[in-house]
Amino acid sequence: MARTFALVAAAAAFFGHAQSQCTAAPSQTYDYIVIGSGAGGLVIADKLSESGASVLLLEKGPLSSGKWNGTMKASWLQNTNLTRFDVPGLFNQIWVDSAGVACDDTGVMAGCVLGGGVAVNSALYWKPHSSDWDVNFPTGWKSTDMQKHVDNVFQRIPSNYIPSKDGKLYLQQGFDRVTKGLDTAGFKYVVANDAPNEKNRTYAHATFYIQNGERHGPLRSYLETAMARPKFNLWVNTGARRVVRTGGHITGVELECKNNAGRSGTVNVTPGTGRVIVSAGTMGSAKLLFRSGIGPTDQLNVVKSSPIDGSTMISQDQWINLPVGNNLNDHVGTDIQISHPDIVFYDFYGAWGSPIKADTDAYLQKRSGILAQVAPNLGPIFWTAHNGSDGITRHIQWQARIEGRTKTAMTITQYLGMGTTSRGRADITPQLNMRVATNPYLRTTQDKEAVIAGLDYVRSALNNVQGLTWITPTSSQTTTAFVNSIPATPASRGSNHWTGTCTIGSDDGRTGGKAVVDLDTKVYGTDNLFVVDASIFPGMTTGNPSGAIFAVAERAAERILALKAPAPKLIRGATRDM
Ligand SMILES: Cc1cc2nc3c(=O)[nH]c(=O)nc-3n(C[C@H](O)[C@H](O)[C@H](O)COP(=O)(O)OP(=O)(O)OC[C@H]3O[C@@H](n4cnc5c(N)ncnc54)[C@H](O)[C@@H]3O)c2cc1C
Ligand SMILES: *[C@@H]1O[C@H](CO)[C@@H](O)[C@H](O)[C@H]1NC(C)=O
Ligand SMILES: *[C@@H]1O[C@H](CO)[C@@H](O)[C@H](O)[C@H]1NC(C)=O
Ligand SMILES: *[C@@H]1O[C@H](CO)[C@@H](O)[C@H](O)[C@H]1NC(C)=O
Ligand SMILES: *[C@@H]1O[C@H](CO)[C@@H](O)[C@H](O)[C@H]1NC(C)=O
C-alpha cells in the first residue's frame, strides 16, 4: 500500500504571516511562463532561460529547501540552513504532517511546495531502462534520442547509493538478509545506474539524488543556475488559475495569490512570440487545461457549472476538445511483509521531535550517520521481468523498507510499471478539485498475471532466507488469493507516480487520437501552449519516474527552442496549427 495521509483543507492559516500580503503582478512580459516548479518545471525553466530568454517560473506553494529560504523544520534544525526537505532522515514527515506541503486539490498525495514532488519525495533516482522510451514514447523520443539528455541529467544531478558523507551504510541488516535469499535464487548484484538495462533478476542498493548528506536534485542544480541569471524570475505562493487565450493563441496567465503572500492579477507573455509551459503535475496540468477550456466536453461542463469559474470561463465556442485526464497511470503497488529476528528498526518518526542526540550531532557536524539515509531505511531494490500471455514484457521494481507490523518487520512493495496495459481517468469536481475517477490498477488480466507471477517468484526466492517468517501473505495463503484481497484503489495500491493525463503523441486527440500534446509537447489546437511534466508520459517507467521526467524536460526544451515562434499577429478567434 500506499502510506496514508490526511488531506488538509487549507494551509492559509499556517502561512499567513502578519506582514505578508498579495501583490499585483507587474505589467512586464516574459518570453516563457512556466507553471509549476516540480520535476518537469524546474528543469525546463532552467533550460529555457539558458537560451537567453526571459523566464517566469510560477509556483503555487511556499518555499521548501533551506537553500531557498524555506522555514519548515524540526526544532533541532533551528539556527541551521536546513529544513525538513533537506534532511533525508526526515522525509517521512510528509506522512505525519502534510499541512501546507501536500496539494489540497489533487485527491492523491502530491507536493505543492517549491520543487513539487522532488522536494517531498524519497529521492530514489534511476537511469531509465531503454524500454521506458522505446516501448512507451513516440518517434523523436526513443532511447537513442534520449541518451544525451539522460547523460546530461546525470551529470548535473549525480546519483549516489551511500548517502552518508563518511562513506558508510547504516543498519543494513534488512538489506543483507533479503539479498542472501536473492543471491541463492540467482539474482545478480548491480550498481543500478551503471547498468540501467539490467532489470531482470538483479538487485541493488537504493540509489538517490543525495549529495553532501542533503537532498540534491533539480532544486540544487537546475534551479541554482537559473537563479543566477538576471532574466530568470521565480514567484512562489502564486498559482495559475488558467491561461488567457483567443482561440489557440495564449497571451498570458491569470493568477491566484496563495497563502496571502503571492501575486495576483494577470501576467502576460511577450506579445506575439511568448509561450506558456504547463508543468503543474499529472493532476495539476489537467486541472489547468480544464479551467482554460481544454479537455473533454463533460469536464469543461463541470468547470462551466462551477461556482468558482463558471461565470468567467472562456466561452464554449472557444473550447478545444482533447482527451485530457484519460490514460491515467501509476505504478501498481502490492505490499508484502516479512520478518527476521536480525532486522533493526530505527525510529525516523521520533527523529522529528525526540531525536537521538548522537545521531543529530553526527548529521549536523558531519552530514553522516543514519539520518543521512532516507527514512525508513530503504533497500534493497530489486527487479524482475515477466513476459505476458499478450506478448508484452512487463517490468517490476521491488522496493524494501524497514517498517511494518513489528520491530523486526520489513515491507517490500512490488511496483508493476513498464508494460502495463491498464489505464484510468482523472476528472474534476464541481469544487475544482482533481480526483481519480477510474482507478488505473489491474484492469487487464495480463497486468494481474504479472503481479501474481512476480510475487510467486519472489516468495520462493525469499523462502531461501534462513529465519525469515511471512507476515503477509501468510505462508499458507495462495498468491492469487492474496493479490485479490487487496483493493485496486489508490489508498491500497497507490505509488504516487501518476502519469498520463496529457499524453504525448502524433495521434491528435481532437480527431479521435489519444494525444493531448504533439511531438514538440505543444497542446493540439494551440499556437504557444506546452505541457512538460509526468502528465505527458504515455506509459509507466520501470523505476521511480523522476530521472525520466528530468530527461523529458531537457528533451522538450531542445524541441521547443528549435520551433519557429508563433506568427506575431494574432488571428482573432481562430485556432491555428503550426
Ligand atoms: C510522497 C512521494 C514520494 C515519491 N517518491 C519518489 C521517489 O523516491 N523517486 C521518484 O523518482 N519519484 C518519486 N515520487 C514521484 C515524483 O516525485 C513525481 O513523479 C514527480 O515529482 C512529478 O513531476 P511533475 O513535474 O510532473 O510534477 P510535480 O513534481 O508534482 O510538480 C508540480 C508542481 O506544480 C505546482 N502547481 C500545481 N498546480 C499549479 C498551478 N495551478 N499554478 C502554479 N503551480 C502549480 C505544484 O505545487 C508542484 O510544485 C514521489 C512522489 C510523492 C508524492
Ligand atoms: C548549508 O550549508 C552548508 C555549509 O555551507 C552547505 O554545504 C549546504 O549546501 C547548505 N545547505 C542548504 C540546504 O542550503
Ligand atoms: C532568500 O533571501 C535572500 C535574502 O533576503 C533574498 O535575497 C533572496 O531573494 C531570497 N530567495 C528566495 C528564493 O526567496
Ligand atoms: C527474466 O529472467 C528469467 C530467468 O532467467 C527468464 O525466464 C525470463 O524470460 C526473463 N524475462 C524477460 C522478460 O526477459
Ligand atoms: C521474454 O521477452 C523477452 C523480450 O521480448 C525475450 O528476449 C525473451 O526471450 C522472452 N523470454 C521468454 C521465456 O519467452
Q: 351 in a domain, yes or no?
A: yes
**At a CB cut-off of 8 Å and minimum separation 6, what does 350 contact?**
none
Residue nearest to atom 5 of ligand 3 (CA): 69
Taking residues 507-531, report their average pLDDT.
Answer: 98
| CB crowding 552-577: b at 16 or more within 10 Å, else e | bbbbbbebbeeeeebeeebeeeebee
Residue 14 · residue 100 · CB < 8 Å: yes
Q: What is the CATH number of the domain that holds 461?
A: 3.30.410.10
Element (H, E) at 154: helix 143-156
110 CA distance to ligand 1 middle (Å): 6
Query: With a 6 A CB cut-off, is 492 part of the ligand 5 pocket?
Result: no
Boundaries of domain holding 342: 160-212+329-425+439-493
C-alpha of 571 from chain center: 37
Domain count, the chain: 1
Q: 219 in a domain, yes or no?
A: no
pLDDT band for 24, please (50, 70, 90 cuts): very high
Q: 578 in a domain, yes or no?
A: no
Residue 496 · residue 323 · CB < 8 Å: no
Q: 348 in a domain, yes or no?
A: yes
Q: 516 in a domain, yes or no?
A: no
Atom of ligand 4 nearest to the CA of 387: 13
Q: 294 in a domain, yes or no?
A: no
Q: 199 in a domain, yes or no?
A: yes
Q: 8 in a domain, yes or no?
A: no
Ligand that lies nearest to the alpha carbon of residue 214, given by its number in the listed order? 2
CA angle (493 as vertex; 338, 138 as ends), nearest 5: 120
Residue 5 has pLDDT above 80, yes or no: no
Q: What is the pLDDT of residues 236-282, one digit of tens each?
A: 999 999 999 999 999 999 999 999 999 999 999 999 999 999 999 99
**At a CB cut-off of 8 Å and minimum separation 6, what does 123 contact?**
88, 91, 208, 209, 210, 215, 216, 217, 374
Q: What is the pLDDT of residues 375-411, one digit of tens each?
A: 999 999 999 999 999 999 999 999 999 999 999 999 9
331 is an active site residue: no
Residue 215: phi and psi, rounded to 5, are: -55, 130
Residue 412 · residue 338 · CB < 8 Å: yes
Residue 392's identity, in one-letter code, is I
Atom of ligand 3 nearest to the CA of 234: 13
Q: What is the pLDDT of residues 542-573, one digit of tens each?
A: 999 999 999 999 999 999 999 986 554 444 44
